[in-house]
């Protein structure tokens, strides 16, 4: 073969190699790629609290309606589910508090308040329930102002506590 042709072939081969390598690098590092996630096998956790017989965390691996999810926690007869969108499809970590019907809760007297579970079963978050129980253990009597001053308790939580605790 002619030396000129060999040089041209070598130059073409090297050029194609360089261009191909650069194209690969540009494609690999600079062009965004669409990521497809298969959610069908992913698990998610739904935390259910409030007016249910068995509050807690429930693990699901496929989308379910809120109706299906709260069914497994055994909704109590004095639960108020009228404001919940029961047909909402849940497919990711989610937290739901099932409220009690207004007037359906018998208030707990301050002197009879002894466990975190008493408050959790009435829809109070566990961290707030623990704060209230710690305060109860240190104080025979209290006021709503003292409770409002506790860490983590705001006006909304205070209103919820007023519905379930009798300070007299």
- Give CA torsion, residues 151, 80, 164, 123, to 10 deg: -40
Q: How far apart are CA 45 and CA 74, in angstroms?
A: 17
For residue range 64-109, list pLDDT tens digits in order: 999 999 888 888 877 888 888 999 999 999 999 888 776 656 688 8
Q: What is the CATH number of domain 108-166?
A: 1.10.150.320
Question: Pairing state of beta strands 108-109 and 165-166?
Answer: parallel
Strands (E), 22-130: 44-50, 56-60, 64-65, 89-90, 94-98, 108-109
Q: Which of 129, 131, 128, 66 is nearest to 98 (CA)?
A: 66
- The residue extents of the domains of the chain are 1-32, 44-98, 108-166
Give this prediction's pTM.
0.41
Residue range 150-166, pLDDT digits in tens? 999 999 889 889 888 99
| pLDDT tens digits, one per residue of 8-65 | 878 877 877 877 776 766 666 666 554 444 444 579 999 998 878 888 899 999 999 9
């Amino acid at each position: 073969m002619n030396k000129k042709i060999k040089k041209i072939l070598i130059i073409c081969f090297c050029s194609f190699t360089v261009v191909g390598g650069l194209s690969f690098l540009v494609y690999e590092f600079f062009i965004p790629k669409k990521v497809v996630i298969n959610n069908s096998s992913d698990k998610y956790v739904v935390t259910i609290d409030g007016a249910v017989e068995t509050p807690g965390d429930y693990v699901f691996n496929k989308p379910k309606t809120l109706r299906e999810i709260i069914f497994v926690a055994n909704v109590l007869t004095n639960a108020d589910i009228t404001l919940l969108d029961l047909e909402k499809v849940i497919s990711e970590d989610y937290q739901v508090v099932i409220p009690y019907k207004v007037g359906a809760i018998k208030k707990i007297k301050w002197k009879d308040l002894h466990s975190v579970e008493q408050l959790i079963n009435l829809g109070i978050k566990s961290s707030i329930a623990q704060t209230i129980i710690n305060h109860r253990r240190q104080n025979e009597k209290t006021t709503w102002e003292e409770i409002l001053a506790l860490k983590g308790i705001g006006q909304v939580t205070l209103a919820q506590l007023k519905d379930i605790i009798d300070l007299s």
